[in-house]
Chains A and B, each alone.
Chain A
Amino acid sequence: EPEVTQTPSHQVTQMGQEVILRCVPISNHLYFYWYRQILGQKVEFLVSFYNNEISEKSEIFDDQFSVERPDGSNFTLKIRSTKLEDSAMYFCASRPLGGNRQPQHFGDGTRLSIL
């Protein structure tokens, strides 16, 4: 069964440094998402991406965050200057065409630790 893959599985970074989290969505999917989950808290939406542009973003997704689909397969999340509170599990998700009834499929996440 095709799956969403994320790299790295764990990223440790000094506060203030830039970090790029990478995702390869399922190949025939057209909608892409990033979510995060702070330890012990619920999963929170960050951003959705369709047709090579951001379609929606949350209040969390401020100027320090950006997303890109540099080629036909990768989907990246960049945090320009990391803060301690960015420490969380980051999940990438994708879904095909067919309306919102189509469930999103999640990658196994990147654990980001900011020191």
Chain B
Amino acid sequence: RKEVEQDPGPFNVPEGATVAFNCTYSNSASQSFFWYRQDCRKEPKLLMSVYSSGNEDGRFTAQLNRASQYISLLIRDSKLSDSATYLCVVSYAGGTSYGKLTFGQGTILTVHP
């Protein structure tokens, strides 16, 4: 089983649509969770951290279900500028680990006019 698994998509949605991405992780000791976005051939950029109670940042809502080892990202009112690859990222800190990030393969989103 992959450590972090995402639906690769691609998701093609019109402007204004709501789109949801899912992610599962295999290490139950994982401690921190993030969504990053990556534009073509660019560096990953933090979109938002994911907290146990769920959190929202403008049009973006993230949810975490530790029991199911499941993370989600909801984007409302999609903009053209939201077109990117969305990376589900998990951090485990235990033993000698100093918070290395484990990435999913990413979900490609294209928002069209």
Give the B-binding residues of A (Cβ under 8 A).
31, 33, 35, 41-45, 48, 50, 55-56, 58, 89, 91, 93, 95, 99-101, 103-109, 111
Contact A35 B98 (CB under 8 A): no
Say whether B101 contacts A108, CB under 8 Å.
no
Interface 1/0 per residue, B47-67 and A, CB below 8 Å? 001000000000000000000
Do residues B103 and A95 form an inter-chain contact, with CB atoms below 8 A?
A: no
Main secondary structure of the interface of B (DSSP, over half): loop
Q: List residues 83-99 of chain B with CB under 8 A from any CB of chain A.
A: 87, 91-93, 96-99
Q: Verify A43–B98 contact, CB threshold 8 A.
A: no
Instruction: Give B87 Cβ to nearest chain A Cβ, in Å.
Output: 7
B72 to chain A, nearest CB (A): 18
In the complex formed, the residue of A with least CB distance to B49 is A103
Interface centre among A31, A99, A106, A109 (most CB of B within 10 A): A106
Determine whether the beta carbon of B44 is less than 8 Å from that of A45. no
Which of the residues A31, A50, A91 comes within 8 Å of B43, measured between beta carbons?
A91
Q: Which of A99, A106, A111 contacts B44 (CB 8 A)?
A: A106
Distance (whole angstroms) from the CB of A61 to the closest CB of chain B:
11
Contact: A45 with B100, CB < 8 Å? yes
In the complex, residue of chain A having the shortest beta-carbon distance to the beta carbon of B103: A43
